[in-house]
Structure formats: C-alpha cells, structure tokens
Structure 1
Amino acid sequence: MNLIIRAAKIIDPQSKFHDKTVDLHIENGTILKIGSTLPNPDKRKEIKLDNLHVSQGWFDSSVSLGEPGFEDRETIANGLNVAAKSGFTAIALQPNSLPIIDNQSQVNFVQSRANGSATQLFPIGALTKNSEGKDLAELYDMKNAGAVAFGDYNKHLENANLLKIALQYAQDFDGLVIAYAQDSNIKGNGVANEGIVSTRLGLKGIPNLAEELVVARNLFLLEYTGGKMHIPTISTAKSVQLIKEAKAKGLQVTCSVSVHHLVLTDGKLDGFDTRYKVTPPLRTDADRKALLKGIKDGTIDMVTSDHNPIDIEHKKMEFDLAKNGTIGLESAFGALMTVLPLETIVEKLTAGKSIFGMENNAIAEGEKASLTLFTPEGNWVFTKENIQSKSKNSAFLNTKMTGRAYGIYNQGKLSLHE
C-alpha cells in the first residue's frame, strides 16, 4: 500500500526528525520521503488523524493466543488483528498452546497461521519438552525454524542443572533463554500477594521471596555459564535490585515488567474479582513504585502486556480455582500513559526487538516502514466495548486511560481502528 501520512509528530531518538511534525511518503513498504507538506500529485491515500504521533513499531515480548488447541480463547488471526489495532507491529508468541510449541513443526505451524498479517509473529519455543521441566526441547531446530527465544511460560525450571545446561548449549547458536521466576514450593497454594490484603481477605499468600529466591539462583547460574538470559514479568522491588547488581557485573541479563504490575496493586482484590488474578500476583504500591523506578533508571529493559486470554468458564469462578491471566494488548498504551512519560513508554515498547534479535528500523528515508500511529492525549475509560479479543478477562475494565493507539503500518499494510 502506498500512502502519505500527514502532520505526524515523530517520536524516535534514532531519527533526525525526532520531535518534529512532518509528512511521510511511503511506497511499497519503504519510507520514500519525509518532509513538510509533501505533494501528492498521484492522489495517493492520505492519513490524517487528530494529534497524530508516529514511532518505530512497538513489540510485545509476551503474548499468549491459544491457537492451536485453545481457539475458544483466541485465534492467531484475530489476536494479530487485535495487536495491530493496539499499536504492535510485532509480538513474541508464548508456547503455551496445545500441543506446546516445543519442536520445529509447531514453530512452522504458528508462523504459517500468521502469514499475511500486518503484525509479525515471532514464536518463543518451549525450553523443555511439553514444558514439563524434565528434558530440553529441540532448541537448535526451533531456532533454525524461526524461534526467537526459549522458555516455559509462567513455569519455573526447578532443575538448576537443566537450566545450566540450557544456558551453555544455547550459546552455540546465540540463543536467548527465558527464565520465569516463581518457586512453586514457596508459592504452594498461594493465590495472591502475601501481605495485609491477602490476610484481610483470607486468601493464601505468595511471598515476594518466591520470586526473588529464583531470580537470585538464576543469576548465579548465568554468572557461572555465561550466555543470555531474559527474566520476564518481574514484580518485586528486590528483583529489580538483584538484576541491577547483575547488570553492574556485566552479565547479559534483561528483564521485563507487565503493564498491570506498573499500574495496579493487590488492593484491587477487595472484591475477589478474578480478573485481577495474575501470575506473578499484583503486589503492593511500594513494589509498583520500585518497578517504575527500575523502568526509569534502565534496569528494566522492556514492558509487556503479558496478554493471556482465558475463557469465561475458567475465569468467572471462585478466586482460588480461577486461572491466572489477563488480556492486555488493547489497554497497554492507554494504561502506561497514566504512569510514565511518553518517550519512556515508546523506548520500553521498542527496545525488546533488538534483545529478541529482530530488525529495528529507524524513521528515516530509505528505511522499511514499520510504524506505530498513536495519540498521547485524551482521557477515557476502558470498557468492554474497547475489547476486540475473543476473551474478555481484562484487569483494566473501567480503568481511566490517557491517549490511545490508532494502529500500525507494517509489512506494507495499514491497520487502523475503525
């Protein structure tokens, strides 16, 4: 699709047009010309949107979609459409489908289902066979098929030696190992953050220690083996400190935090609403503020929606029995704008591409057009009408938002909100 994007304020520190309002002329998926009031003699399609801002395309490092096996929760086609309308030009797909994405054929399958979408899909391969934590999966074959990292979604690998071997083996092909941190024995039957709220509500608690102990262990293993490790969705102040210290030692460790842990706290559990049952659990305001500080000082590398659709049969039930997870693509940008500066948000929504080994195209003439279109202004309330996912389990229902994504231009395709 060839088009001209009119009066767009560029948010891209890598571009000489950063913080300037310009027109962009795009031909065959490439930025042909950037300038003021570009001519349009051939009457190409023009995009004019209120207070339009444009950045490099956003990337979400943790998205679950269900297909194959859980298409009632979400399909790949609809999930990628939701991601596009939410401003994401690329997502990393978690392997928690049925069957688990733990071999080359499963990687090929999910990639084939994404063909033709504006949003690109990059599979995460399971670290262990069937994500059972017993034997390593076919990491090298999956890497060759297109897997960008390896991890068992929301599962702590209890066998420290197996993680050691994985970190050593993955170095042979520059693989990225994802190490989720939550000790299942310390967690036990816990369903909420251990603290004042869980005690008052009579909910079994999950202490911060369940996460921090595993973060510390995994960083010790990384220091021993070398290699690259990504610690996803951290949730406590101590985890931030441990990772900061590891980075100061020169370890190749990166980490992410979910949008809901930056915005919400365990105080939301007062009504026993299972939409707020997530893993790791929502923590205290002190932890939330420490996470925001970690974002601003560079300790936390990226932000993820940790989008995880759950069908109503497994979500709308007793708190103890309900599955963990919230959808988050549609609400990600609007929620972040309530707690962080715009340029920080854009940085944390784009930095993950280089970490996961993807192209990072600056907004410049001659570069591939991989763009997110959005406005940082306007206050509104997120409701069910704003949800385009098949599942409706959003922790952000009836939450105040600021700004919104208009959509994306990527893969030669324009995808905007109607």
Structure 2
Amino acid sequence: MNILLKSAKIVCPENKELHLKKRDILIKKGVIEKIGVSVETPASIKVIDKENLHVSLGWFDSSVSFGEPGLEERETIANGLYTAGKSGFTDIVLNPNTNPVPDTSSDVVFLKERGHGMATKIYPLGTLTKNANGVELAELFDMKNAGAVAFYDFKKQVSNPNLLKIALLYAQNFDGLVYSFPQDGNIKGNGVAHEGEMSTKLGLKGIPALSEELQIARDLFILEYTGGKMHIPTLSSAGSVKLIAEAKKKGLDITCSVAVHNLLFSDESLNEFDSHFKVSPPLRTKSDSKALIKGLKNGTIDFVTSDHIPMDIEHKRVEFDNAKSGSLGLESAFGGLNTIFDLEETISFLTKGRSRYQIEAPKLKEGSKACLTLFNPDKEYTFETKDILSTSKNSMFLGSTLKGKVYGIINNDQSTL
C-alpha cells in the first residue's frame, strides 16, 4: 500500500518538531518513508488531499463489543473492525460479549484469526471465569499465551471476593491484568436508571451510586492485600473517582476508564424513556459527569472508551424496563469528545491506554510503521442514522450535534480511506 498524504496538519504532542505543523507524508508498503514540507509525488501512488486534513497517531479503544460468534445479528467481526477503522481506531480491545464467551485459548485464537489482515487490529479479552459465571477461574495463563490481553466477565461483578483475591494472586505469575466491573448486583437489584430525582420522577427503579462505589472500595481493599494489576472499566460516579484517586496515592497498580457517553449525557436524557439511553453503568447526574471530566483531565481516570455495544432492535425497541443495556459508541466517540475538550486533549485521550495491555505504542517518524488516523476536527454536523456503519443502530448520540469527522485510518499496511 503506497499513499501520499498532502498538507496534513500533524497533531502529535510527543513529537515536538512536527506537532501542529503541515507536512506531506509518504507511506510505502505500510512504512512512513518520508515526512517533508513538500514531497514529490512518485508515479502510481494514491494521493490523499482532503479538506482540512489532520493526522495523528492511530486511536485506541479499550472497550468494544461486536457479537460474533453467536450474536452475529448484532455485529460481525469483519464489519465491526471496518466500522472501527472508519471511526479512527487502529487498535481495539474486544470484550468477551459473545455466545459462547471466550474462556479458552482456542476461543482467543479464533477471535484473533477472524481479525487477521484488517486495518484495525483486534486484541481480545478472555473471561475471568469459566462461562463467565463467576464460580471457577478460566484458563487465564493459556489464554494469555494465546493473545488475551486481560480477563473480564463482561459487565458482571466478581461476587465472590475470595475468587478475585485468588485471580489477582495467580495472574501475577504471568503479569496478567484482571478486570472488575464496578457494580454490586445485590444493591443494583432490578434497577434500570440512576437512583435520584429523575428516576423518582419517572417511576423507574433506581441504581444508587453506592452500588458502584461499594464494589470499587471492596476491590481496592483486595488489591491492596494481594498486589497485582487491576483495571476497573467505565466509572460513572464522582465518588468512584475519589476512591481511585486515593488508591493511586497509596501506590496500587490500578487503572480505570470512562465511557464517552457518561461524560456527555446525564440521567436527564431519560425523560422520554428512550431505551437508547439505557446503559450499564447508568447515566448519572450532571455533577457526576463534571467529576468524570475533571478526573480524566487530571489523570485519575486513565483513559476514555467508546464502550461500543451493538444491540439488535428486538432488544431495544421495547419498554425501558425490559430493554437491554448498551449503546453504539465508535462512530460518535471523536465527535463527542471534541465538543467538550480541545483538540490536543481529545487526541491525547484517544491515543492513551495501549501500555496497560502491553501493546506497542506507534510512532510518527520516518522508518516507523504507519499507524495513523486522518480527520477533520472542525466539521460540525448532526449525528444521524446514515452516519452509523454498525449493523445495529442503537446509538444514544442520534440527533446530537458533534464536532469532527473522521476520514479513516492507515494501519497494518491497510487503509479505510
């Protein structure tokens, strides 16, 4: 694949010589051959010359769900990775949100093989327990050797504290990363929305912030006792941010993430009972969103994710109480973040996180493999169904005004331009 990017404005704070400079970038056979003010166009090469063209290192998303195997009606791996690439993501961590779940090394190998040769690279998570049922540890070591980057019973709490303790102790033998979903199911009960003024007004069963904060507090106590590495995905409350900040001051090896939609939306969006806004953890208050934004800016929250969860129409176009949780996020992640942060912050958030999963970070320099995202950061538009490339269409961002359009990616000697 040979491409010449013409007059691309480079957004790369790590490279002070090139940051915010306009340059031509020549890519041959997937490698950056030359970066210059004006690079002569070689014969028979594809020239990319787009409106307000910006380029950064490829973006990374730590929480993406598709469906294959077993739930292909929601999303296939092939179309999911194409969607991720067109949305600017060169690397994604794939959630174990399938049927059956990936709890053996052969399952992990299958997922990696299905993503082989695509522009966006796939890094699977294996489940923490067999069948993700929370009873017995899965084949963690074998899955790690097969390519699993961490272990997670998707959107399920680790109910048994002793099981989490054993997992953290065992995973230290091979530098494994253990996830713990921040929600106490007993306190959540049958809740479907944040417990507060809005849920009371609408007559919806509430999920108190306590359900998240109590689970996190317990897990951090266990981590302090065992050592090891833990990741807590998708925080949603101000209290959770405080707990993580205190744990980091103690020196615990803990990371966490936040979903884009929890930064942009609050439980006030539920006033029309639109099931697109039903997610787990739930949308909380505006003050929680402000605390999450602050936590992301000051580094308490380590990275941001789309928390992309395709869901077929049969599970969304029902009463709010009965709808399944989840919203698409890949296609709207950049445009959403870019409305609340400046461009450099947005790109910084979208490129962080790889090191936690022992994924090699790309470089923007001559001689390096091209791992790039191309975009126009200034284009404002209303997000509509036509902007959704996923098989499912369950996005809470429909009708929102977003800022920034992605052109595509160059990665793995492939392109989605």
**TM-score range, shorter-chain basis?**
over 0.9
Gaps of 5+ in 2: none
Deviations 1:27-52 (A, max 9, x none): 11111111101112324211111111
Q: Verify: 1:140 aligned to 2:141, yes or no.
A: yes
Matched ranges for 1:141-156 at <5 A: 141-156=142-157
Deviation at 1:10, TM superposition (A): 1.2
Distance 2:166 2:305 in 1: 27
2:356 corresponds in structure 1 to 355
Equivalent pair of 1:83/1:89 in contact (CA under 8 Å): yes
Matches within 5 A, 1:99-248: 99-248=100-249
Contact 1:12 1:362 in 2 (8 A): no
**Secondary structure in 2 aligned to 1:372?**
strand
Q: What CA distance in whole angstroms lies between the structure 1 residues aligned with 2:251 and 2:9?
A: 37
Which string of whole-angstrom CA distances, capped at 9 and with x for unpartnered residues, describes residues 70-94 of structure 1? Answer: 0000000000000000000011111
CA distance in 2, matches of 1:347, 1:225: 32
In 2: Cα distance, 1:335 partner to 1:83 partner:
15
1:188-233 per-residue CA deviation (whole Å, 9 max, x = no partner) reads 0100000010000000000000000011111111111111111100
| Partner secondary structure for residue 338 of structure 1 | helix
> In 1, Cα distance between the equivalents of 2:351 and 2:369?
15
Mind listing any 5+ residue stretches in structure 1 that lack a counterpart?
Answer: none
Per the alignment, in what secondary structure is the counterpart of residue 125 of structure 2? strand
Q: Which residue of 1 aligns with 2:36?
A: 35
Partner of 1:13: 13
Which SS does the other structure have where 2:392 is aligned? coil
Query: In the alignment, which residue of structure 1 is the partner of 2:413?
Result: 412
Q: Do residues 384 (structure 1) and 417 (structure 2) align?
A: no
Q: Distance in 1 between matches of 2:168 and 2:112?
A: 25
Match of 2:396 in 1: 395
- SS of the residue 2:340 aligns to: coil
The one-letter amino acid paired with 1:8 is A
Code of the aligned partner of 1:223? E
The equivalent of 1:255 in structure 2 is: 256
Q: Tell me, in whole angstroms, the C-alpha distance in 2 between the residues paired with 1:394 and 1:134.
A: 33
CA distance in 1 between counterparts of 2:3 and 2:395 reads 35
For the 8 Å contact 1:231–1:256, the answer to whether it is kept is yes
Distance in 1, Cα, partners of 2:13 & 2:141? 35
Distance 2:65 2:254 in 1: 23
Alpha-carbon distance, 1:330 to partner = 0.6
Instruction: Say if 1:31 and 1:366, in contact at 8 Å, map to a contact too.
Output: yes
* Cα distance in structure 2, aligned partners of 1:365 and 1:121: 25
Name the SS for the 2:144 alignment partner: helix
Matched, 1:63 2:64: yes
Residue aligning to 1:374: 375
CA distance in structure 2 between the aligned counterparts of 1:179 and 1:343, rounded to whole angstroms: 30
CA contact (8 A) 1:60 1:91 kept: yes
How far, CA to CA, are the matches of 2:330 and 2:259 in structure 1? 11
Q: What amino acid is the match of 1:200?
A: K
- Determine what percentage of the aligned residue pairs are the same residue: 58
SS at match of 1:150: coil
Q: Deviations over 1:5-37 (max 9, x none)?
A: 111111112223112111111111111111101
Q: Which amino acid aligns with 2:113?
A: S
Q: Which moved more, 1:37-46 or 1:153-162?
A: 37-46
List per-residue Cα deviations over 1:366-389 (Å, max 9, x = no partner). 111101111110210000111111
Of 260-269 and 350-359, deviating more is 350-359
In the alignment, the residues of structure 1 paired with residue 248 and residue 5 of structure 2 have an alpha-carbon distance, to the nearest angstrom, of 40
Residue 397 (structure 1) shift: 0.5
1:54 aligns with 2:78: no
Deviation above 3 Å: which 4+ runs of structure 1?
none
Conserved 8 A contact 1:107-1:125: yes
Q: Which amino acid in the other structure matches residue 140 of structure 1?
A: F
Over residues 264-320 of structure 1, what are the superposed CA-to-partner deviations in whole Å (9 max), with x where a residue is unaligned? 110010000000000000000000000000111111111111000111111110111
CA distance in 1, matches of 2:144, 2:223: 20
* Residue in structure 2 matched with residue 3 of structure 1 by the alignment: 3
Compute the TM-score of the two structures, normalised by the length of structure 2: 0.99
Once the two structures are TM-superposed, the CA of residue 135 in structure 1 deviates from its matched residue by 0.5
1:406 Cα deviation (Å)?
Answer: 1.0
The equivalent of 2:95 in structure 1 is: 94
Q: Which deviates the most, 344-353 or 283-292?
A: 344-353
> Helix, strand or coil for the counterpart of 1:296?
helix
CA deviations on 1:327-349 (whole Å, 9 max, x unpaired) are 11111100111111211121111
Tell me how far 1:63 sits from its aligned partner. Answer: 0.7
Alignment of 1:309-328 (within 5 A): 309-328=310-329
Q: Matched residues in 2 for 1:211 and 1:316: separation?
A: 27
Whole-Å separation in 2 of the counterparts to 1:35 and 1:312? 49
Q: Partners of 1:24 and 1:41 in 2: how far apart?
A: 12
